[in-house]
Structure 1
Amino acid sequence: MRKRYHSWASAWLQTILCFGLAEGSTADAQVVLASGKGGDRRPQGALAVTRDIERRVVQAGGNTVGVLVASLSWTSADDLDLHMLLPGGQEISYRHKTAEGGELDVDMCVQGKHGGNCADRPVENIVFQDDPPAGRYKIFVQNFNYHLNTLPENMQVARMQEGRKASKEEMQLRLSQDRPVLFDLLLKVHGSKKLFEGLCTPAGKTHGSSDVVVLEFDYDPTKDEDERFIPHFEAVAAQECLRYSEKLALAGSEARALPGSPREKSVQPRTSDGKAVEVQRHIALASEQDFQLLTFKDTNFGPLCEGKGCMEKAELVDKLQQAHTRALFALLTSVVVALPHLKLQPALATRCHAAMAPKKKPAQVKAKAKKVVTKASIYEAGQLAVPHPTVRQAAVKRKPAASKASKARKVVAPTKPIRIGFLIGKDTDLVEDPKYVGDASFMADMPDKYRVDPESKEYLKNCEAGVKGFAHADVAIPWYIHKKYGGDVTVDMIFPEEITLKRLKSNMCNYIIGYDVINSIFEGPKRYKEVTKAFTECGNLMPSWEVQDFIYIKSRYMQACMDAGIPMAPTIFAKKNKRSPAKLLAEIKARGWQTFVMKQSMMAFSLGFCKLKVEDCEKDPSILKNYFRDYAECPEYVVQEAIDGFTRNWETRVFWFNGKFLYAIANKAAVSTEDGQEVIITGDDIPSEFLENAKRIGEQALKILPQLCTPSGQPVDMTLIRTDVGCSDSPLHDKHTNWDPNGRTFFLNEIEYGGTTYFIRHLKEDWVPKWAELYVNKSNEVFDKMCEAAA
């Protein structure tokens, strides 16, 4: 979404109905309800929905003042798209945002919540500032893709249900990919408004199969007012949409309170002169005078995203609405949307990650609750001396929705020496190796229990006496920190079997540098459950559980990358309980593939990987049936058209820390080399074309990851991420992909994080000291931010 501020900014303020005009004005009187609900809905209800949609469009940077305006509204992170077919055959949508004088000026939830450009109640908006061309118009809505939120599912539903606890059935009802997506559409033509409610996309459908035509009409600007707009088709509320809406309402009414979720918002009664006050404020805001920046002295926002601008203004305004009374929110929103140059001061920023706000002592909390807000304590707005209905009301403090992890520990100031954990457990990333160019003497006094037997792949503590082992990167880096930075940092090297919630919470933060949840899968369901519980509840992993989970389920980051235009191999996601061998093969054939590969989410070491031919699978259906049987518990198969050039070209693996490039290695598969051995090159041996394209694509991929935050909620730059980029130089058969068959196309193959292979022994420089410095500096950054939050 692009934010746009034009000469009609002052006109925005004149049409922000929910906090600019009194009810019953001419701007409101022309709302027509087209939901098909007849007398079941009072005009005031349609008016409230209309006001709300227009308010959110304005917050998102859209224009609601054109001659023809179509505004789409929905309430989930799914990527709904608004399309308008024009008389000349052109279309305005996310593909072509401008045509014939019209523009899609708000486009939300392209990447769901992960991209940051998706409010809790998103909108899209198409506007013709001047008269559109005469002829037939068609408006339809498409569900481009279902998107998961960044919150745990139970908290997502709790927020949807105003803090009431959700059952598994309710989470399925609200978050599955077999559900409809409810939406409203508001059409405005020359100031007359028509609201379409009770509509939804078909359950389980995406892309073209999900299209819902809302209306078709003829428009002729040369005709009289009554004849300019002639409707030919108007959608009415569909029964399946109403039934789904009723199920949601019933689920919400029967739900119980979920600890840690936001309390239901109470609406403060408006004062008798509230309307006059709002009109007076509207006049002040619409004037030409300059307004000074609002400066808050209130501290209800919790840890701040200082200097990061960690959310769009539209989402910020939504958060402000949750945090403060309705009338105060109206004042804040008016000023935020009115000032295109507004630079939010730190106190206006909100948390960019759902984490617990600093706890106050009971006496402080009690005093805070009794505090009566005065105008001076709420804001300083320069010459904007407009009375406000909430000036004498008690402050309404709302607790932010906290994730399980953030509730797991209180936010207290850490102490020095900083205690940091490293989750170790590698057997494929040697440092004690003849190829290592650094000085390995710092490991001379490292206890042998941290070394690994190359034969059994076991730590020496689990081997017979006399067995010789070697150190890998996961123990070499923390041991170097222990040796060089021991006065400031206490290093806790955690063996896999020592991972417990108590152990993790004993450290300020814990870096995953070896063992992770994927490893626990190979130890059985019980161990997997134990490790997952510790990871999700400790609240101090680096990277956070939210980042890990986003990468574990490959469709999440892959779909986000595809939505962002990052090249990837043609892909089909076959999810558990929604797949069958016949269905998958039919989908593969429909895409035109001849050869394909199958990979798995929540898996490692290339287990479950195979390369198959469509022809073979047709002749012998047992090939896919056996795969489905053998890997029935896998949550997701990732099926991709086989890239012929992938094995004979370099795959370039780029390492990033704090979002900055560190180094890269490139490898060729063993099947492509003369001696049948994998080849690895580093540094300036990597062809520049491969390195530069891998850096370019990797940098784009970093942007789709969830924001990393400290245990107390302050944003920090990402820890280690590795982006693997492949190369295609041959024709593809996918009907949706148009890569040049005669040239090289670089594409993102995979994203990995801290537990990946570092390839230290292959590098031409000694990277152990550099990695140690990076982790120590990150720990100091986290320490400083947590101290600030607890102050």
Structure 2
Amino acid sequence: MVAKKTAMKKPVMKAKKVTAMTKKFAKAKVSKVSAGGKGFKIKIGILTGKNFDPIPVGTQDPKYPDKFKFKNNREGWGGQFHIDVSVGLKMAALHPDLFEIDLMTGKDITQARLKKNHVNMNFWYDVGVAMLQKDKKHTKEVMAAHKNPDCRMWPSWEYYDWVLYKPNYMKQCIKAGIPMIDTIFIEDGFDPKNVLKQVQAKKWDKFFVKPAHYTFFGAGAIHGKTQDFIDNPSLLANYAKENKSMKAFLVQPYTLKPNGKVFDEVRNFFIDGEWAYSVYTDGTDYEGVYEQPPGAVKDACKEIACRCYKEVLKAAKWQGKPIKTLMNRIDVGVVPDKSKPKGFRVFINEIELEMTTWLARYVPFNLCDRMGEAATKKARELLTGLLKSGRKVPDAAKVKQVLEVLEERLGPL
């Protein structure tokens, strides 16, 4: 096989229709308590932009803004209404008298705008997405917004970067004894000769290289037979030149199923600190997507994902304090293996933050409802943490009063 560049497995984007209508958006009763003064609302920013995660047909909020619709069916992967915007609208529908939701697209994101909100939640548009725009000024501003504590954004910078810099969580999981693909970590630039030497020492017949920081959708990946790279050194030399701005890379054996196809994944989702659902995604067939059925594979994937999530909780912090995460996706690789007692082996392939595909159309419950409630709780937690830490929050006294009203409605955190 001739060495060649290739894309990593794409995020599952294929949508399917569902015929059943879910219940209508709940309407909250307006509190009789004066919440921070007449008409005052907590302003929550939601960073959006997913055009690949449509919600089940017919479940959209009737007030879904036209600006955020993807009317080109191909562009919206089968749907014009997507989960990130829908969750923000759900939060507003749950507490219309207490919340004002500031929905933002990528071009809207500036430090100045984020600072005007009491708290912000990023459901999609992060530094990696900004880098795809090839606009250095814009990327710099988005990066600054993520780092600036006065932007009051979840995920927090330290936790966000722990996930985005893959060697962080991979090494932590390996130390904890959690199975992962054997990996050579390159963290000081790509040296073709040194990499090839390490690959040969591992005796890998084929291998795969991908950047380890701020990259996704297969950007900057290459794979091939080791012998092809030995016979033609220019392949890796050119790769190094093309990616000279990057410092960190992951080098792994090319992992395939016995039939020669790329391994499958079971994507496990955690909401508000608890395992919530899992979805099967075929390694090569992008149509092969469905809720993972009960059985040994589902159980094994859930078990290893839960072990991995414990490591996530060690890194997740807000204002220096441990906190349960709003949403994580933990991708578990599955490879048939007759030498194993159950006939297969599993390993952690990747950890994702909220800024990923949630696969809303393959969930056994209304994900918008569930995430709307979880995001409301998270907003309360984030704002409470900000106030307790002494961090500057606009209208702090009024925000505190609204939080008290929410506690009356929803109970203590």
- Quickly say closer, same or farther: Cα 1:547–1:506, change in 2 above 3 A: same
Contact 2:264 2:335 in 1 (8 A): no
Deviations 1:623-650 (CA, angstroms, capped at 9, x unpaired): 2122222222223221111222294654
Q: 1:535 to 1:789 in 2, by over 3 A?
A: closer
Whole-Å separation in 2 of the counterparts to 1:499 and 1:664: 32
Task: Identify which of 127, 130, 143 aligns with 1:532.
Answer: 143
The SS at the match of 1:645 is coil
Match of 1:667 among 278, 281, 284: 281
Tell whether 2:167 aligns with 1:558: no
Distance across 2 between alignment mates of 1:512 and 1:758: 14
SS of equivalent to 1:440? coil
1:429-440 equivalences in 2 (<5 Å): 429-431=53-55, 436=56, 439-440=58-59
> Can you list the C-alpha shifts for 1:77-113, whole angstroms capped at 9, x where unaligned?
xxxxxxxxxxxxxxxxxxxxxxxxxxxxxxxxxxxxx
Partner of 1:510: 120
Partner of residue 421, structure 1: 45
CA displacement at 1:537 relative to structure 2: 0.7
Q: Specify whether residues 557 and 709 from structure 1 end up closer, same or farther in structure 2 by C-alpha distance, changes over 3 A only.
A: closer
User: Which whole-Å deviations, capped at 9, do the CAs of 1:694-733 have from their partners, x for residues lacking one?
Assistant: 22212222232354344x54432112111000123359xx
Is 1:542 the equivalent of 2:154?
Answer: yes
The corresponding residue for 1:618 is: 230
2:133 is matched by which residue type in structure 1? E
Uncovered stretches (5+) of structure 1, i.e. residues with no partner? 1-413, 459-467, 671-675, 732-738
Q: 1:651 aligns with which of 262, 265, 268?
A: 265
CA distance in 2, matches of 1:597, 1:667: 20
- Report deviation, 1:787: 4.3
Alignment of 1:126-275 (within 5 A): none
Distance 2:383 2:253 in 1: 46
Alignment partner of 2:99 out of 489, 499, 502: 489
1:778 to 353, 375, 378: 378
Q: Is the 8 A contact 1:501 1:538 kept in 2?
A: no
Tell me the residue number matched to 1:596: 207
Among 757, 763, 779, the alignment partner of 2:357 is 757
**Alignment partner, residue 719 of structure 1:** 326
User: 2:119·2:383 contact (CA, 8 Å) conserved in 1?
Assistant: no
Secondary structure of 2:357 counterpart: coil
Question: What is the aligned partner in structure 2 of residue 446 from structure 1?
Answer: 64
Deviation sequence 1:447-472 (CA, Å, 0-9, x none): 211112437849xxxxxxxxx98121
- Alpha-carbon spacing, 1:750–1:441, altered in 2? closer, same or farther (3 Å): closer
In the alignment, does 2:98 pair up with 1:498? no
In the other structure, the counterpart of 1:680 is: 289
Cα–Cα, structure 1 residues 642 and 549, in superposed 2: closer, same or farther, change >3 Å? same
For 2:333, what is the secondary structure of its paired residue? Answer: strand
- Whichever residue aligns with residue 652 of structure 1, its letter is V
Secondary structure of 2:257 counterpart: helix
Q: Contact 2:73–2:79 at 8 Å: present in 1 too?
A: no
1:708 is the counterpart of 2:316: yes
Q: Deviation at 1:745?
A: 1.9
Matches within 5 A, 1:724-735: 724-730=331-337
What is residue 584 of structure 1 aligned with on the other side? Answer: 195
CA contact (8 A) 1:651 1:668 kept: yes
Q: CA contact under 8 A between 1:729 and 1:741: conserved in structure 2?
A: no
Rounded Cα–Cα distance in structure 2 between residues aligned with 1:485 and 1:453: 28
Question: What code does the residue aligned with 1:522 have?
Answer: L
How far the C-alpha of 1:441 sits from its partner, in A, is 4.8
Paired residue for 1:768? 368
Residues 49 and 105 of structure 2 are in contact (CA less than 8 Å); yes or no, is this contact kept in structure 1?
yes
Q: TM-score, normalised by structure 1?
A: 0.41
Say whether the 8 Å CA contact 1:555–1:573 is kept in structure 2.
yes
- In 1, the alpha carbon distance for the partners of 2:117 and 2:253 equals 44
Does 1:472 find its partner at 2:82? yes
Equivalent residues of 1:652, 1:725 under 8 A apart: yes
The alpha carbon displacement at 1:788 in A equals 4.6
Distance 1:456 1:531 in 2: 28
Q: Distance in 1 between matches of 2:245 and 2:373?
A: 41
SS in 2 for 1:703: helix
Quick one: structure 1 residues 456 and 531, their matched pair in 2 at CA, closer, same or farther if it must change by over 3 Å?
A: farther
In 2, the alpha carbon distance for the partners of 1:547 and 1:704 equals 12
Change (3 A) 1:441 1:452: closer
Task: Provide the C-alpha distance between the structure 1 equivalents of 2:360 and 2:330, rounded to a whole number of angstroms.
Answer: 17
Aligned to 2:344: 744
CA gap 1:666/1:505 in 2 versus in 1, 3 angstroms = same
The one-letter amino acid paired with 2:53 is D
- What corresponds to 2:130 in structure 1? 520
What's the TM-score, normalizing by structure 2? 0.77
Superposed CA offset, 1:647-701 (max 9, x none): 465411011123211111011122xxxxx5430110xx52522222222212222
Change (3 A) 1:765 1:455: closer
1:568 to 169, 175, 180: 180
Structure 2: distance between partners of 1:677 and 1:756: 17
* Other structure's SS at 1:568 match: coil
- Cα RMSD (Å) of the superposition? 2.7
- Do structure 1's residue 699 and structure 2's residue 333 form an aligned pair? no
8 Å contact from structure 1 (residues 650, 690) kept in 2: no
Residue 756 (structure 1) shift: 0.6
The CA distance in 1 between the partners of 2:342 and 2:200, in whole Å, is 24
Which one-letter code corresponds to 1:699 in the other structure?
Answer: C
Alignment of 1:35-74 (within 5 A): none
* d(CA) in 2 for partners of 1:560, 1:729: 26
Counterpart secondary structure, 2:101:
strand
Question: Contact conserved, 2:60 with 2:81, CA < 8 A, in 1?
Answer: no
Distance 1:728 1:541 in 2: 38
What letter corresponds to residue 721 of structure 1 in structure 2? N
Judged with a 3 Å threshold, the aligned counterparts in structure 2 of structure 1 residues 619 and 713 are, in CA distance, closer, same or farther, namely: closer
Q: Which has the higher contact order (CA 8 A, sep 6+)?
A: 2
Give ranges in structure 2 of 5+ residues lacking alignment. Answer: 1-35, 391-399, 401-413
